[in-house]
């Protein structure tokens, strides 16, 4: 790839990203940082877990994203009686034209480009785990037959932090499969006023597709491929590996004051998330390589949900974000 | 003209990085050197001032303190130099940070070194770097010139050191106001100190040498003698032959009072007693069975020195002078000599002594009462040395603590003397 072509590709990525961002912004008021993170995870090829109270626009963001990219979208409301087959699909007996009966696979809602798993913690672990294979391998297996999911495949799961009764905590293995975890806060007063004005008017804002439906999937895949080509220097790989290892208390790299708050540190997937997220950030900045700042920018959504905090942390009111920020600060000091 | 290839550009970048690295390291080396000069010059100036102004004791302590501080500073400088030193691996990162290249340079060089030139974005990265090469030219990144702060510091420290050397003749403390030949009636106490010290020195050499074990100098290590030698050398260099009076004044000051017109001297007894008790004890404990002090030990004080106790006989005065001198005084004789000592061993009770309101009986003396003594030694024989069940402990105690003394009210002085004085003609009490 010549420098000119590479520059054009980067510019195309920036333009597409900005256009999608703009379209989502038409209907979603506020949450700019969350939307950027969700879009970043989408182009990095990961999945996102969104945590927020009801009614602050989680579903709207996901729906708008799918509409803006002109991709297929499905929503599954997770409940306690939801079965795995309700997600993956099932085989039914189909009678053919000649009267011959045979099992036919009926795809579940997972067969879409963008899947919204609403309130994922309300389903049983068995049903939750039905998503694992789909998220990790982009395929589902029903009755011994594997069915690939058409790329791009993007899962956005939401968690309701209140009403914890009757919920099932997501297992660590499933949490680890989400590239980022994003928290959505209440809108500010100004944002709330805008929301009220825009959603109660006669004409509701609509999202205009940025990509053509026929080519949308390929375009998105091409952009995701471009992200993967961003350069990562060995010193950046060392830096990310060091960050991830520092979060693990067993390595002894975590300062004593913080180590007692962390039971388990980040898995290697945390490092992958850091680099992939940093690659998207680098492209958005027009750079063909990642920097320390890119990594820092995605460190919180990439690492926080991967740390298993101790009871001491809960008692002391210390969150994973504080630990990750401490790790970043110590790395910054070491660099200086 | 051939179009620059990524490989050519990478070579240019590497050369420029090398140039920046050398320039920066040279700069850091210069800075460290100036800091080191400043540290050494400061330490040397401090040492010279201390050598010229303080007594050997404080000077030794100060020397080690200054040496330790200088070493610490030098270590800190070395550590700082190592931290700031640019290694080939660190140099691109440093340039990136310094010039806001956002990791372009380090990424390009590292990936180029790894052979990642076929990565799709690599040509773009190299071209981007080529465009920015002029922004971090060595002469632009690190302008010529000395590390001014460090240089000024070094210059100032060296200046202070030279100033100290220049002012050395004026840094001499006031000489001891009285020497043995200068003793006058106006300054009885200081004159007495000098007389006593001289007497002690001479008597120690002549009389006590066989009894006393070799102390201090031989036991001191070469390292502990270093500050003394250094001070001697500095004073010799800067003061030449005139240094002896100044040294004596320093010693006096170290022993308890600052010399000079305004400085008050402590009582002569106190000055003498504190330093002599140990020696006395050593003599008493170490005296071999049957040994006697040499006759005339008390008279070992310098002839011609003026006694200060007005009412005493010259002999008694000489005795007291020697007693204050410490080595061959009456205490030693009373302790170990048995019979044959002077009946006026302690001198006659006098109003002058009573006026000083003290009379110290050294408990180191192995005394014998007039009655109730377990066994009277035969005349002319020295009493057996006191049994010492813990010789090592006793030895240390002797070295570490002055001999305890018992304070006897002056009113009992005559009685005590009568009891403890040995008589030449009869058996000891």
Tens of pLDDT, residues A106-156: 989 999 999 999 888 888 888 888 887 788 888 888 888 888 998 889 999
Q: Residue B395: which H helix or E strand, with range?
A: helix B391-400
A5 → chain B, closest CA residue: B124
pLDDT value of position B392: 60
What single-letter DSSP state applies at residue A119? T
What's the distance, CA A300 to chain centroid?
13
Q: pLDDT at residue B179 above 60?
A: no
Q: Which of A158, A191, A225 is the last residue of a domain?
A: A225
A232 → chain B, closest CA residue: B107
Q: Is A258 helix (H, G, I), strand (E, B) or coil?
A: helix
Per-residue pLDDT averaged across A278-290, rounded? 94
Per-residue pLDDT averaged across B368-390, rounded? 56
Interchain pair B119, A287: CB under 8 A: no
Dihedral over Cα of A135, A137, A140, A142: its sign? negative
Q: Which chain A residues touch B128 with a CB distance below 8 Å? A: 3, 288
Kindly indicate the confidence band of residue B418, based on its pLDDT and cuts at 50, 70 and 90.
confident
Q: Which chain A residues touch B111 with a CB distance below 8 Å? A: 231, 233-234
Same domain, yes or no, for A220 and A260? Answer: no
Interchain pair B120, A7: CB under 8 A: no
What's the distance, CA B216 to chain centroid?
14
In order, the DSSP letters of A178-200 are -SEEEE-PPP-HHHHHHHHHHHS
Q: Which of A225, A251, A284 is the last residue of a domain?
A: A225
Per the model's pLDDT, the better-predicted residue between B118 and B217 turns out to be B118
Nearest residue to B287 (alpha-carbon basis) of B327, B337, B322? B337
Nearest residue to A233 (alpha-carbon basis) of B142, B215, B261, B105? B105
Are A283 and A227 contacting, i.e. CB atoms less than 8 angstroms apart? yes
Nearest residue to A133 (alpha-carbon basis) of A168, A89, A91? A89
Same domain, yes or no, for A254 and A124? Answer: no
Q: Is the peptide bond before A152 cis (omega within 30 degrees of 0)?
A: yes
HEC profile of A311-324: HHHHHHCCCHHHHH
d(CA A127, CA A139): 16
Tell me whether A168 touches chain B (CB under 8 Å): no
Boundaries of domain holding A123: 3-225
Q: Which of A104-113, B15-24, B179-188 has the lowest mean pLDDT?
A: B179-188
Distances (CA, A) of B227 to B57, B60, B232, B242, B248: 9, 5, 8, 20, 17
Interchain pair A231, B107: CB under 8 A: yes
Show Cβ contacts of residue B313 under 8 Å, excluding neighbours closer than 6 positions: B348
Nearest residue to A282 (alpha-carbon basis) of A332, A232, A244? A232
Q: Look up residue A287 and give its two tokens.
A: 């750079």
Q: Which chain B residues touch A290 with a CB distance below 8 Å? A: 103
d(CA A298, CA A225): 19
- Which of A233, A282, A332 to mutate to probe the B interface, most B CBs <10 Å? A233
- Which of B80, B108, B120, B125 to mutate to probe the A interface, most A CBs <10 Å? B120
d(CA B371, CA B387): 21
Question: What is the percent of chain A with per-residue pLDDT over 70, rounded to a whole number?
Answer: 99
Same domain, yes or no, for A219 and A234? Answer: no
Q: pLDDT at residue A292 above 70?
A: yes
Min Cα separation B24/chain A (Å): 17
Q: pLDDT at residue A228 above 90?
A: yes
- Which of A6, A225, A231 to mutate to probe the B interface, most B CBs <10 Å? A231
Q: Which chain B residues touch A235 with a CB distance below 8 Å? A: 93, 106, 110
Per-residue pLDDT averaged across B111-115, rounded? 84
Q: pLDDT at residue B244 above 50?
A: yes
Per-residue pLDDT averaged across A186-195, rounded? 86
Question: What is the percent of chain B with per-residue pLDDT over 70, rounded to a whole number?
Answer: 46
Q: Which of A160, A195, A225 is the last residue of a domain?
A: A225
d(CA A103, CA A95): 9
Are A29 and A195 contacting, i.e. CB atoms less than 8 angstroms apart? yes
Mean confidence (pLDDT) of chain B: 66
What's the distance, CA A239 to chain centroid?
23
B283 φψ region: left (φ > 0), alpha (ψ -120 to 50), beta (else): alpha
Kindly indicate the confidence band of residue B349, based on its pLDDT and cuts at 50, 70 and 90.
low
Min Cα separation A232/chain B (Å): 7
Same domain, yes or no, for A46 and A151? Answer: yes
Q: pLDDT at residue B150 above 90?
A: no
Phi, psi of B10 (to 5 degrees): -60, -40
Kindly indicate the confidence band of residue A38, based on its pLDDT and cuts at 50, 70 and 90.
very high
So where are chain B's domains?
A: 6-171, 191-369+390-420
Show Cβ contacts of residue A194 under 8 Å, excluding neighbours closer than 6 positions: A29, A30
Tell me whether A170 touches chain B (CB under 8 Å): no
Interchain pair A229, B124: CB under 8 A: no
Q: Which chain A residues touch B104 with a CB distance below 8 Å? A: 287, 289
Kindly indicate the confidence band of residue A277, based on its pLDDT and cuts at 50, 70 and 90.
very high
pLDDT value of position B277: 43
A231: nearest CB among B102, B111, B127: B111
pLDDT value of position B344: 57
Q: Which of A155-159, A160-164, A280-284, B264-268 has the lowest mean pLDDT?
A: B264-268
Same domain, yes or no, for A39 and A62? Answer: yes
Partner residues linked to A231 by β-bridges:
A289
Show Cβ contacts of residue A114 under 8 Å, excluding neighbours closer than 6 positions: A62, A65, A66, A69, A71, A72, A73, A74, A154, A156
Query: Count of CB atoms within 10 A of residue B423's CB?
Result: 14
Q: Look up residue B162 and give its two tokens.
A: 């030279």
CATH number at residue A312: 1.10.8.80
Phi, psi of B58 (to 5 degrees): -60, -35
Same domain, yes or no, for A185 and A39? Answer: yes
B110: nearest CB among A229, A235, A287: A235
Choose from A289-298, B200-209, B392-401 the range with maximum mean pLDDT.
Answer: A289-298
Q: Which of A43-57, A193-207, A291-305, B243-257 has the lowest mean pLDDT?
A: B243-257
Same domain, yes or no, for A237 and A165? Answer: no
Min Cα separation A291/chain B (Å): 6
pLDDT value of position A288: 93
How many Cβ pairs within 8 Å bridge chains A and B?
55
Interchain pair A1, B120: CB under 8 A: yes
Q: pLDDT at residue B275 above 70?
A: no
d(CA B33, CA B38): 9
Per-residue pLDDT averaged across B227-245, rounded? 75
Interchain pair B107, A236: CB under 8 A: yes
Residue that is written with structure tokens 């959504």 in the block: A301
Question: What is the percent of chain B with per-residue pLDDT over 90, rounded to a whole number?
Answer: 9
Interchain pair A289, B104: CB under 8 A: yes
Total residue count of chain A as it appears in this document: 336
Per the model's pLDDT, the better-predicted residue between A317 and A54 turns out to be A317
Same domain, yes or no, for A214 and A262? Answer: no
Show Cβ contacts of residue A53 under 8 Å, excluding neighbours closer than 6 positions: A160, A161, A162, A184, A186
Same domain, yes or no, for A96 and A215? Answer: yes
Residue that is written with structure tokens 């009986």 in the block: B361
Give the number of domains in chain A: 2
Interchain pair B102, A291: CB under 8 A: yes
Tell me whether A283 touches chain B (CB under 8 Å): no
Are B243 and B53 contacting, i.e. CB atoms less than 8 angstroms apart? no
Same domain, yes or no, for A209 and A89? Answer: yes
Per-residue pLDDT averaged across A273-280, rounded? 95
Q: Which chain A residues touch B121 with a CB distance below 8 Å? A: 1, 6, 229-231, 288-289
Q: Which chain B residues touch A8 with a CB distance below 8 Å? A: none
Interchain pair A233, B123: CB under 8 A: no
pLDDT value of position B407: 64
pLDDT value of position B146: 77
CATH number at residue A28: 3.40.50.300
Q: pLDDT at residue B381 above 70?
A: no
Kindly indicate the confidence band of residue B53, based on its pLDDT and cuts at 50, 70 and 90.
confident
Question: What is the percent of chain A with per-residue pLDDT over 90, rounded to a whole number?
Answer: 42
Tell me whether A33 touches chain B (CB under 8 Å): no
Q: Is the peptide bond before A145 cis (omega within 30 degrees of 0)?
A: no
Interchain pair B102, A287: CB under 8 A: yes
Nearest residue to A63 (alpha-carbon basis) of A197, A177, A158? A158
Q: Look up residue A127 and give its two tokens.
A: 């049903």
For residues A123-146, b (16+ Cβ closer than 10 Å) or e, as one string? bbeebbebbebbbeeeebebeeee
Show Cβ contacts of residue B25 under 8 Å, excluding neighbours closer than 6 positions: B85, B86
A229: nearest CB among B93, B121, B123: B121
- Which of A11, A13, A232, A235 to mutate to probe the B interface, most B CBs <10 Å? A235
Q: Which chain B residues touch A288 with a CB distance below 8 Å? A: 121-122, 124-125, 128
Q: Which chain B residues touch A291 with a CB distance below 8 Å? A: 102-103
Dihedral over Cα of B322, B325, B331, B337: its sign? negative
Same domain, yes or no, for A21 and A163? Answer: yes
pLDDT value of position A327: 92
Per the model's pLDDT, the better-predicted residue between B151 and B323 turns out to be B151
Same domain, yes or no, for A123 and A221? Answer: yes
Give CA torsion, residues A296, A300, A306, A310, to 10 deg: 110
pLDDT value of position B253: 62
d(CA B34, CA A214): 71
What single-letter DSSP state applies at residue B296? T
pLDDT value of position B241: 66
Q: pLDDT at residue B280 above 50?
A: no
Interchain pair A233, B122: CB under 8 A: no
Kindly indicate the confidence band of residue B243, based on its pLDDT and cuts at 50, 70 and 90.
low
Q: Over the stretch A303-332, which tens digit does the pLDDT of each residue have?
A: 999 999 999 988 988 999 999 999 999 998
Min Cα separation A68/chain B (Å): 28
Show Cβ contacts of residue A323 under 8 Å, excluding neighbours closer than 6 positions: A247, A254, A258, A261, A262, A307, A309, A313
Q: pLDDT at residue B307 above 50?
A: no
Q: Look up residue A148 and give its two tokens.
A: 């690939």
Are A89 and A140 contacting, i.e. CB atoms less than 8 angstroms apart? yes
pLDDT value of position A255: 83
Kindly indicate the confidence band of residue B376, based on its pLDDT and cuts at 50, 70 and 90.
low
């Amino acid at each position: 790839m010549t420098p000119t072509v590479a520059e054009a590709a980067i510019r195309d990525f920036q333009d597409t990203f900005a256009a999608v961002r703009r379209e989502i912004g038409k209907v979603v008021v506020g949450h700019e940082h969350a939307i950027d993170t969700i879009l970043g995870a989408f182009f990095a090829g990961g999945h996102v877990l969104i945590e927020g109270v009801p009614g602050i626009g989680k579903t709207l963001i996901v729906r708008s994203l799918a509409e803006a990219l002109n991709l297929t979208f499905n929503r599954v409301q997770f409940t306690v009686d939801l079965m795995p087959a309700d997600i993956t699909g099932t085989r039914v007996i189909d009678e053919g034209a000649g009267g011959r009966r045979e099992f036919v696979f009926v795809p579940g809602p997972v067969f879409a480009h963008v899947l919204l798993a609403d309130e994922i913690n309300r389903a049983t672990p068995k049903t939750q785990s039905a998503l694992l294979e789909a998220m990790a391998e982009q395929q589902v297996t029903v009755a011994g037959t594997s069915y690939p999911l058409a790329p791009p495949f993007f899962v956005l799961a939401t968690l309701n932090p209140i009403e914890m009764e009757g919920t099932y905590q997501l297992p660590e293995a499933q949490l680890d499969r989400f590239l980022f975890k994003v928290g959505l806060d209440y809108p500010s007063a100004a944002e709330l006023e805008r929301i009220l004005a825009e959603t109660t008017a006669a004409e509701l804002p609509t999202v205009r597709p940025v990509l053509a439906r026929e080519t949308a999937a390929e375009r998105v895949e091409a952009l995701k491929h471009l992200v993967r080509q961003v350069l990562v220097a060995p010193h950046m790989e060392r830096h990310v590996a060091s960050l991830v290892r520092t979060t693990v208390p067993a390595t002894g790299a975590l300062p004593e004051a913080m180590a007692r708050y962390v039971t388990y540190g980040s898995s290697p997937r945390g490092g992958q998330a850091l680099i992939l997220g940093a690659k998207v950030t680098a492209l958005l900045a027009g750079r063909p390589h990642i920097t320390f700042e890119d990594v820092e920018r995605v460190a919180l959504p990439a690492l926080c949900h991967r740390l298993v905090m101790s009871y001491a942390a809960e008692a002391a009111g210390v969150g994973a974000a504080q630990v990750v920020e401490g790790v970043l600060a110590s790395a910054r000091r070491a660099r200086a | 003209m051939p179009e620059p290839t990524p490989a050519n550009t990478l070579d240019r970048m590497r050369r420029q990085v090398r140039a920046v690295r050398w320039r920066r390291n040279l700069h850091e080396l210069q800075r460290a050197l100036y800091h080191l000069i400043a540290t050494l010059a400061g330490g040397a100036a401090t040492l010279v001032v201390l050598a010229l102004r303080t007594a050997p004791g404080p000077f030794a302590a100060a020397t080690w303190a200054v040496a330790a501080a200088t070493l610490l500073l030098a270590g800190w400088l070395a550590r700082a130099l190592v931290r700031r030193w640019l290694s080939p691996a660190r140099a691109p990162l440093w340039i990136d940070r310094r010039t806001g290249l956002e990791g372009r340079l380090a990424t390009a060089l590292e990936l180029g070194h790894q052979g990642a030139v076929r990565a799709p974005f690599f040509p773009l990265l190299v071209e981007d770097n080529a465009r920015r090469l002029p922004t971090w030219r060595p002469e632009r990144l690190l302008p010529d010139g000395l590390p001014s702060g460090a240089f000024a510091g070094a210059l100032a420290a060296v200046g202070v050191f030279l100033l100290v050397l220049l002012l050395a003749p004026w840094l001499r403390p006031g000489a001891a106001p009285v020497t043995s030949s200068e003793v006058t009636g106006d300054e009885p106490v200081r004159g007495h100190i000098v007389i006593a010290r001289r007497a002690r020195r001479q008597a120690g050499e002549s009389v006590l040498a066989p009894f006393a074990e070799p102390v201090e100098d031989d036991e001191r290590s070469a390292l502990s003698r270093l500050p003394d030698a250094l001070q001697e050398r500095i004073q010799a260099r800067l003061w030449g032959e005139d240094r002896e009076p100044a040294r004596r004044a320093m010693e006096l000051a170290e022993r308890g009072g600052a010399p000079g017109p305004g400085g008050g001297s402590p009582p002569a007894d106190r000055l003498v007693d504190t330093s002599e008790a140990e020696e006395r004890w050593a003599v008493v404990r170490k005296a071999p069975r049957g040994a006697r002090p040499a006759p005339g030990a008390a008279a070992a004080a310098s002839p011609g020195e003026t006694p200060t106790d007005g009412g005493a006989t010259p002999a008694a005065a000489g005795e007291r002078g020697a007693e204050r001198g410490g080595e061959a005084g009456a205490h030693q004789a009373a302790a170990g000599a048995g019979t044959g000592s002077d009946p006026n061993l302690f001198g006659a009770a006098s109003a002058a002594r009573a006026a000083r309101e003290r009379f110290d009986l050294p408990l180191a003396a192995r005394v014998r009462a007039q009655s109730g003594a377990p066994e009277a030694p035969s005349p002319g024989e020295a009493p057996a040395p006191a049994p010492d069940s813990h010789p090592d402990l006793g030895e240390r105690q002797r070295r570490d603590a002055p001999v305890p003394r018992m304070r006897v009210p002056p009113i009992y002085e005559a009685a005590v003397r009568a009891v403890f004085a040995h008589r030449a003609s009869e058996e000891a009490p």
